[in-house]
Amino acid sequence: MAIRIEPQQFNKILVGVDDAPDAHAAFSYAVDKAKRDGSELGIVSVLETADINIYEAMSKDYIHGTRAQLEQRINEYVQAAVDYGVAKNKITAIVDEGPKPAERIVNHVLPEFHADLLVVGSVGKEDSKKMFGSQASYMAKNAGISVTIIRS
């Protein structure tokens, strides 16, 4: 019997992004995979509310400003994906917020987006209190779908 190689194709790919090198590598992988497979692409970033002190949390201007910055950054990722060749109508930008990004992605974003592949970096941004290594592990264990963890 001959062994057949059939690359796995996914219909909806969700990639988690922040400003860490591994997240950039995950984004590049996900965008290329989405383009090759003709998949829908969700780009998610989570505003980590655990990093916000009580005074910042009470300031609507701070929260809205921080969220607006995150939305602007997500739009830059969307434009990069479009520039690479992913159709804009196949891209969804998602900004979520919560104290634990991995749990928000697994419990809220994935069920709403209905992804069949999650792509994340192995380590988060350096100033994050919760390094993505443990978050990537949590997502791999709990996502209920295929997960690709990228290391740069």
Domain boundaries, the chain: 12-150
What pLDDT does residue 37 have? 95
**How much is the pTM?**
0.85
What tokens appear for 32 in the block? 């290329």
Exposed, middle or buried: residue 32 (CB in 10 Å: 0-12, 13-18, 19+)?
A: middle
**What homologous superfamily does CATH list for 12-150?**
HUPs (3.40.50.620)
**Digit-coded pLDDT (tens) for 94-147:** 999 888 899 999 999 999 999 999 999 998 555 444 444 688 999 999 999 999
